């Protein structure tokens, strides 16, 4: 493994960044059906108005606890899920208005790597079939004669033995299967890859190998990642910018330092303070913010600020008026945070 200089990995500062993906007010409500007639009795507001921008070659981390809507968001970005409302622009093209052939062409540029390498690979197909399947759907990507060779190149690229092209998924370990999923993801030379918890099913020692692989591929192929995960340490490691989600909304978004060193939203602060740090000498030095209770149901989210039921700063205004995700000062600069009482606090 070559040592990529950290500076190479980082995209240049804001100026000259090229926008690749822009989400505006994405909403996904799933109907709750009940009774014999399966009448809709309510909605699960999985994603409820999410906007962000993704630039070429950068990694945007999306963190949040289970049920916050981060995976639904990922599926909407792939258009695996039709949105209830909102607009998604990919490279200047409105994605949700595309149909048939033009949508299929668009899909070449935006790919996904799934969480569970055990269920996301068809057990009856060989690795060659799995990694080569994108070429069946997009026959003009690689001429038929060159496909097998291309698949072997891809396997080599992700650190698998190209000679294992005829093996089946069960002959590989979890980490290797995730490499197969990644090879399939990069097969069509996409511009954006959505990684939905790509390492959370893996053991620690293998997790690092896959994280390193993703970073290497980003350098080599100039990919932009949407990195969805619940592990805040991994997200910090790989991301340039981070968005924190709570109950279907982004509550805070900023670059790595802004979120981890100067978080201004109480939820981000509580989340960060709950992550155990592998250093026993910090045991007493770290202040843990204990949140009481569980995340409320997204079918019936609290009024106003959705976090007010668990927030220690909550005032009357919090249950009435929803705070906007706008630039708020964080001490040394400003980043977007959705809290009426946003103020920086060091928790890590």
Partner 1 sequence: MAAQIEELGARRWAPVDGVLLEVEDLQVEFRTREGVAHAINGVSFELRQGETLAILGESGSGKSVTAQAVMGILDSPPGFVTGGAIRYCGRNILDLEPDERRRLRGPEISMVFQDALSALNPVFPVGWQIAEMFRMHRGMNKTDALAQALRLMERVQIPAARERVRAYPHQFSGGMRQRIMIAMAIALDPAVLIADEPTTALDVTVQAQIMRLLADLQAEHQMGLILITHDLGVVADVADRIAVMYAGRIVEQSEVFALYARPAHPYTEGLLESIPRLDQKGQELAAIGGLPPNLMRIPPGCSFNPRCSYAQDVCRYDPPPALREVAYHRLAACHFSELLLAHSPKLEVTQTAAEVEAAFERDADTAQEPGWTTAPVDEERT
Q: Which residues bind partner 1 (CB under 8 A)?
A: 1, 3-4, 6, 65-66, 159-161, 164, 172-173, 175-176, 203-209, 211-212, 215, 230, 232-234, 236-238, 256-257, 260, 270-283, 288, 290-291, 293-295, 348
Residue 87 or 167: the one with the smaller Cβ distance to partner 1 is 167
Cβ at position 119, least distance to partner 1 in Å:
17
Largest CA distance in the chain: 68
- Give the ranges where 161-253 is alpha helix by DSSP (H): 174-186, 204-221, 232-238
- Cα–Cα distances (Å) from 51 to 77, 87, 129, 271, in that order, read 11, 9, 37, 21
Cβ at position 22, least distance to partner 1 in Å:
26
Residue 106 or 274: the one with the smaller Cβ distance to partner 1 is 274
Residue 49 or 159: the one with the smaller Cβ distance to partner 1 is 159
Q: How far apart are CA 150 and CA 160, in angstroms?
A: 14
- Core vs surface per residue 267-279: b (16+ CB within 10 A) or e: bbbbbbbeeeeee
Dihedral Cα 136, 142, 148, 151, nearest 10 deg: -90
Residue 23 or 214: the one with the smaller Cβ distance to partner 1 is 214
Cβ at position 56, least distance to partner 1 in Å:
21
Residue 282 or 320: the one with the smaller Cβ distance to partner 1 is 282
In three-state secondary structure terms, 26 is strand
CB neighbour class for 28 (10 Å; exposed up to 12, middle 13-18, buried from 19): buried
Cβ at position 143, least distance to partner 1 in Å:
29
Cβ at position 32, least distance to partner 1 in Å:
16
Residue of 250, 261, 251, 301 lying closest to 43 (CA atoms):
301
Cβ at position 307, least distance to partner 1 in Å:
12
Residue 92 or 293: the one with the smaller Cβ distance to partner 1 is 293
- Cα–Cα distances (Å) from 173 to 52, 169, 170, 241, in that order, read 36, 8, 8, 31
């Amino acid at each position: 493994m070559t040592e990529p200089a950290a500076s190479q990995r980082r995209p240049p500062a804001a100026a000259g960044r090229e926008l690749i993906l822009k989400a505006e007010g994405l909403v996904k409500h799933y109907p709750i059906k009940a009774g014999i007639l399966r009448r809709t009795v309510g909605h699960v507001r999985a994603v409820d108005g999410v906007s962000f921008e993704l630039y070429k070659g950068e990694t945007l981390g999306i963190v949040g606890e289970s049920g916050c809507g981060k995976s639904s968001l990922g599926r909407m970005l792939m258009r695996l899920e039709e949105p209830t409302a909102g607009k998604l622009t990919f490279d200047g093209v409105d994605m949700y208005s595309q149909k048939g052939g033009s949508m299929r062409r668009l899909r070449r540029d935006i790919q996904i790597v799934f969480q569970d390498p055990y269920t996301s690979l068809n057990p009856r197909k060989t690795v060659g079939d799995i990694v080569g399947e994108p070429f069946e759907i997009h026959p003009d990507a690689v001429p038929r004669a060159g496909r097998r060779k291309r698949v072997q190149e891809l396997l080599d690229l992700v650190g698998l033995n190209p000679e294992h092209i005829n093996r089946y998924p069960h002959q590989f370990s979890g980490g290797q299967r995730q490499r197969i999923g990644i090879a399939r993801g990069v097969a069509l030379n996409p511009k954006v890859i959505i990684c939905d918890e790509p390492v959370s099913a893996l053991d620690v020692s293998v997790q690092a190998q896959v994280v390193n692989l993703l970073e290497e591929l980003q350098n080599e192929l100039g990919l932009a990642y949407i990195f969805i995960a619940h592990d805040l340490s991994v997200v910090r490691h790989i991301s340039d910018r981070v968005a924190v989600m709570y109950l279907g909304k982004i509550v805070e978004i900023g670059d790595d330092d802004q979120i981890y060193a100067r978080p201004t939203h109480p939820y981000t602060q509580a989340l960060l303070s709950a992550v155990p740090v592998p250093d026993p000498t910090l045991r007493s030095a770290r202040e843990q913010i204990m949140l009481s209770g569980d995340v409320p149901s997204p079918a019936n989210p609290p009024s106003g600020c959705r976090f007010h039921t668990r927030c220690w700063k909550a005032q009357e205004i919090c249950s009435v008026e929803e705070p906007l995700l706008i630039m708020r000062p964080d001490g040394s600069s400003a980043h977007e945070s959705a809290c009426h009482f946003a103020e920086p606090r060091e928790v890590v």
